[in-house]
Amino acid sequence: MSQLRNGSSQWLWTSTLFIVLLSMPMTHGANYGEALTKTLLYFEAQRSGKLPSNQRVNWRGDSALRDVYEVKCIICADCNKQVDLTGGYYDAGDNMKFGFPSAFTTTMLAWSSVEMESELKAHQEHQNVLAALKWATDYLINAHPEPNVLYGQVGDGYSDHACWMRPEDMTTPRPSYRIDAQHPGADLAGETAAAMAAASLAFAPYNADYAEKLIGHAKDLFEFAKAHPGVYQSSISNAGGFYASSGYEDELLWAAAWLHRATNNQSYLNYLNEASNTGGPRSVFAWDDKFVGAQVLMAKLALEGNEKLDGYKDMAESYICNCAQVGNNNFKKTQGGLLWFLPWNNLQYTTTASFLLSAYSKYLNATNKHLNCPTASLQPSQLLNLARAQVDYILGSNPKNMSYMVGFGTNYPKSPHHRGASIVSIKKSITAVTCSAGFDNWYNNPGPNPNVLTGALVGGPDENDAYGDARTNFQQSEPVIATVAPFVGVLAAVA
């Protein structure tokens, strides 16, 4: 019994200390505004297609201008039409345009813009966020030429990964892949519907016609997804080796949640209330699992008085309490303090978790509520401080004193796994770098990348806070756009 009492006292002391620390804002001195600016430069470095005259990342050039395809219409079987799939974003350190994670990136950029609009304006970055978002949505609009047709990939993942080339030099095959009524993919269609609906909210106050166009696409895609269930890699098998989906029910909830927020149409809320699978407590929020994102959106409505959605709220708060280390199944943290979920590109999960903490802090503040977790009660400011602590770790307050944002501070990754950044800029040498020469002369070059991929977030450290800054260490050193999109919102919230 004495051991139990001592253990209980130690637990109480530890929990109390944690809550006190959580209440204290971090003061390691990171310039959050500077980091925010740099994240948006990263999106410019990832642009595919014809670059605009106001392009700020000047080591990049035009690329993939031949991503235009002659196709037969489904509605009019006797006619051909041209589908222009230039533009959009390269997914990561490759030259691929993968529609599934790109659509999630778009949704998170839009959510960042909608939720943190005043904060983004205060730091003069709101227009840059809208520009980054429109670069994505313009592409998605073109990728959805008919109600039941959606192009979900450009490029062959295997041939692309077998070459190390600048995007400006690409000679690898550029096939396009699509889903349709005969080749469904409810997950891809649902995520793209969510992206269009969320983006319509971001643009509505500034470009009503464009917002209306986006919501029209979102509605069609949601109906397409509902009517034709199935995972998209069954139709786009090439994507399965890179971004295989584990299911489609989360994307349908996610899309319905965004469509309801954008239209206030009760039918979408009915869909959410009648869903047989609402996800239960989740352990990650990412491109393949949006359940907790939908749960948080519904929790906002529950906090505002819709008691029918309390079940969603309970699930959302379970995730948030586990992030805060005061739940029933707390998520792992490294000794240095980083929320750690999975070995491959862990920071993609950390940034989404930090975004949800930041957003939920706002929802609690707006409704004058606090969060009751199993072992503690948390104020909105404490959730924001927890998000800030994750930001501080990522920007350099960690055991290695290393910023995991490229170009931020002085000690940051110099050799991220990224084709364009690792090869001499086409602005400095127009001599084409061939597939094999890229590996021989650049990928295997022990020196730092010649172009700084400013604002990129690498995959990050392992569970022991260790990181290997090597181009070959792609599990840790490859940046992806889906990691940075939520970080835009988090930085705006803490700046």
**228 tagged catalytic:** no
Distance CA 347, CA 369 (A): 29
- Alpha-carbon distance of 334 to 465, in angstroms, equals 6
CA distance 223 to 227: 6
Dihedral, 320, 322, 327, 330 alpha carbons, nearest 10: 180
The DSSP H or E segment spanning 248 is none
In angstroms, the CA 415 to CA 286 distance is 25
Query: What is the amino acid identity at position 460?
Result: G
User: Sign (positive/negative) of CA torsion 219, 224, 226, 227?
Assistant: positive
Is there a contact between 222 and 255 (Cβ–Cβ < 8 Å)? yes
Gap between the Cα atoms of 89 and 99, Å rounded: 10
Query: How far apart are alpha carbons 400 and 491 in whole angstroms?
Result: 21
The tokens 């939520």 sit on which residue? 486
Sequence-distant (≥ 6) Cβ neighbours of residue 31 within 8 angstroms: none
304 counts as catalytic = no
Catalytic residue among 44, 67, 94, 249: 94
Residue 229, Cβ density class (10 Å: 0-12 exposed, 13-18 middle, ≥19 buried) = middle
List 115, 187, 220, 478, catalytic entry: 478
Of 459, 461, 456, the C-alpha closest to 90 is: 456
Crossing angle of helices 208-227 and 186-203, rounded to 10° = 160
d(C-alpha 80, C-alpha 82), whole Å = 7
Residue of 117, 223, 463, 469 marked active site = 469
* CB-based contact 344:318 (threshold 8 Å): no
- Please confirm, yes or no, whether 469 is among the known catalytic residues: yes
Among the options 161, 217, 228, 417, which is catalytic? 417
Residue among 350, 291, 346 nearest 490 (CA): 350
User: Residue 94 catalytic?
Assistant: yes
Tell me the chain's radius of gyration from C-alpha atoms: 22
Q: Which residues are catalytic?
A: 94, 417, 469, 478
